[in-house]
Amino acid sequence: MLNETMVHVVDDDLAVRDSLAFMLASDGLPVCLYESASSFLDTVTQASGCIVTDVRMPGVDGIEFLRQLKRRGMNVPVIVMTGHADVPLAVEAMKEGAVDFIEKPFDDELFLTAVRTALDRQARGVAADAVILEIRQRIASLSQREHQVMDGIVAGKANKIVAYELGISSRTVEIYRANVMTKMKAGSLSALVRMSLLAAGL
């Protein structure tokens, strides 16, 4: 559970790290501190929760950090901290995938709200991924013919059209259709269509 809600703070300023660690801990949030983006990238292979990082750091800066996270497939919400003059950098960070940016000095409550929002977003993403994985497993359990019938149904084709295209009887299509609905745990045609779209990433 702790790993799911971990807040990873990346900042080269020790005082900032300590201050944010105290603030997050006081709000009941587990926190892990890193003195640089390189330190994070060298020690973390899989991250959950969210990342809070300064945009200006020696070595790998905030923008390059975002790019490297993306290249490594770390789909974790990132909040970027910026100075007042760094708004253009913050905009660039958003284009690179940051979910939010906060200008220093910031209000404690504003910061905690941003972190909570990022953690909620991560939790929803994890839950959605689990649902999609389960749907894809159900689809994989279908026979080749059941898969063909499902494709026809989802495309909005009538049973007799599917039967004609597959060279089988309408009655046989009805049987396969019932099997598909059972295996997919779909209570309606609309539910089956939604599952198909989710599985396809649409």
| CATH (residue range 2-128) | 3.40.50.2300
Does the domain at residues 141-199 carry the CATH identifier 1.10.10.10? yes
Q: What is the pLDDT of residues 146-182, one digit of tens each?
A: 999 999 988 888 899 999 999 999 999 999 999 999 9
Domain ranges in the chain are 2-128, 141-199
The answer to whether the predicted template modeling score (pTM) of the entire model surpasses 0.75 is no
Higher pLDDT, 83 or 22: 22
User: SS3 letters for the chain?
Assistant: CHHHHCEEEECCCHHHHHHHHHHHHHCCCCEEEECCHHHHHHHCCCCCCEEEEECCCCCCCHHHHHHHHHHCCCCCCEEEEECHHHHHHHHHHHHCCCCEEEECCCCHHHHHHHHHHHHHHHHHHHHHHHHHHHHHHHHHCCCHHHHHHHHHHHCCCCHHHHHHHHCCCHHHHHHHHHHHHHHHCCCCHHHHHHHHHHHCCC
